[in-house]
Amino acid sequence: MIVLTILAALFLPYLIIYLYKNAYNKPKNFPPGPPSLPVYGAFWIVLAHGFTDLATAFKKLGEKYKTKIIGLYMGPVPTIVLNDPELIKEMLNREEFDGRMDIIIFRLRSFWKKLGIFFTDGYFWHQQRRFSLRYLRDYGFGRRCEDLESVVATEVKEMIDLRISGPKYPAEMDIVKGDLVYMPYFFAIPFLNGMLQIFSRSTLPRSEYKALWALTRGTVLFQRSSTDMGGALSLTPWLKDILPNYSGYNDLVKGNEYLLNFFKKLVNEAMETHDETYDRHFLDMYITKMKQELREKDKTTYSVDQLILTCTDYTFPAASAVQFVLTILVERLLLQPEIQDKIHEEIDRVVGRDRLPNLDDRRNMPYLEACIRETMRFDTTVPLSVPHRAMKDTTLAGYDVPEGTMVSANLTLLHMDKDIWGDPENFRPERFLKDGELDLAATVIAIWSSRDMCW
């Protein structure tokens, strides 16, 4: 016992010195920020400043260290968080920050490979993004398409009928019960069937809406699990083996299975009926390109798994973010009925009551457009944005940024900056209007913060 006590007494000073050096060991000319602690680095300190609101935690840390660019270690990863609008704009528009982090959550969702559009980078990303956007546009993605408009209009009519006339099928009883409507799932179908129309020129009938609502639930489960415990799991992936439930790993797997199984079935059906002499839809165009590349090249970025993840990535915002934005807007209409009255007046004046709105009406409805933009500002969907990675050694705001550094933009702080918005705590759509028209100078902030959604 005496020997152990002596050894401990000798070892303790060395341990203290090691921990102290490690706490302040940062790259040369790295931005100021909190010290590192064992295992999770400065993540402990971030949590102490805002356990349930990391965006606010980084705002407090920025004030504490008197900086708009915070440098810290999240576990073993050098990390920079930007609390400044101009720095966020600069970072989002520099190619050296176009990298993505290679973490367990991103691998889990893509067959344990680096696939898809959102979380890939470099040559692979450029190839897949260029091809997918080029040909998805032919079927209405980001471009006006009469077929797609017709599908969305039909689904909106079904949504209205579900609310007015009540459920027709068992699955609908989980969404509408009397005067109660389950949000955000109520809004899911027009967006998801619209994406299916783009991918495969087909949609699911109302009797099969259950599959689309299951897809939405899986997406939301995955998103919430990655947000709630994703930081800890990403920094210490071994938690999945010893604490699969508490770490959120099991929920991530379960939510991801909804997504992958849905699109596996869709892609497999397209593969089984594929004819290289005739392209019926986007899936056919991708499969034709994939088979051509496999015949002509030893190595290609095209694969069945990549096609599944491409569909998953482009559908993810439609299955989660868009519905949440609409749900938040409905909440504001209930809390501020005067806004509802103004929207109603604009719709009656521009559209009337005998038809549904169409894209031609959009330019004549600036107030409704401003309400949507204000909703996205008021309640930020992804508070710290999708994490970026420095693809080479570079600099930002006069500080050195080593290759591999994770870079995050504090979009909540951006959207609640009093110097930009004046009264950001108030929901006021008029801030996006100037002389009755949309103010492009104000909406540029929304463009910065939505860039990653179009990744």
pLDDT band at 234 (very low <50, low <70, confident <90, very high): confident
pLDDT band at 231 (very low <50, low <70, confident <90, very high): confident
According to the model, what pLDDT value does residue 454 have?
A: 39
Contact 31, 399 (CB under 8 A): yes
Q: pTM score > 0.85 for this model?
A: yes
pLDDT of 438 strictly over 90: no
pLDDT in tens, 306-342: 999 999 999 998 888 899 999 999 999 999 999 999 9
Q: Average pLDDT for residues 157-167, to the nearest whole number?
A: 94
According to the model, what pLDDT value does residue 144 have?
A: 87
Both tokens assigned to 254: 């379960």
pLDDT in tens, 240-291: 888 888 888 899 999 999 999 999 999 999 999 999 888 999 999 999 999 9
Q: Average pLDDT for residues 44-62, to the nearest whole number?
A: 90
pLDDT of 42 strictly over 80: yes
pLDDT of 421 strictly over 80: yes
Superfamily of domain 126-319: Cytochrome P450 (1.10.630.10)
Residue 409 φ then ψ, to 5°: -105, 125
Both tokens assigned to 330: 């409905």
Helix ranges (DSSP H) in 303-365: 304-319, 321-335, 337-350, 359-362
Q: Average pLDDT for residues 185-209, to the nearest whole number?
A: 94
Q: Average pLDDT for residues 51-60, to the nearest whole number?
A: 90
User: 410, 382, 383, 391: which is closest to 101 by C-alpha?
Assistant: 391
Q: For the packed helices 209-228 and 249-272, what is the interaxial angle rounded to 10 degrees?
A: 140
pLDDT of 392 strictly over 60: yes
Can you give the residue ranges of every domain in the chain?
126-319
b (16+ CB within 10 A) / e for 342-364? bbeebbeebeeeeeebeeebeee
According to the model, what pLDDT value does residue 444 have?
A: 57
Q: Average pLDDT for residues 429-452, to the nearest whole number?
A: 71
pLDDT band at 14 (very low <50, low <70, confident <90, very high): low
Average pLDDT, the chain: 89
Q: Average pLDDT for residues 12-33, to the nearest whole number?
A: 73
- DSSP code at position 298: S
- Percentage above 70 pLDDT, the chain: 91
Q: Average pLDDT for residues 74-88, to the nearest whole number?
A: 93
pLDDT of 20 strictly over 70: no
pLDDT band at 52 (very low <50, low <70, confident <90, very high): confident
pLDDT of 453 strictly over 50: no
Both tokens assigned to 408: 């995050």
Contact 215, 319 (CB under 8 A): yes
pLDDT band at 455 (very low <50, low <70, confident <90, very high): very low
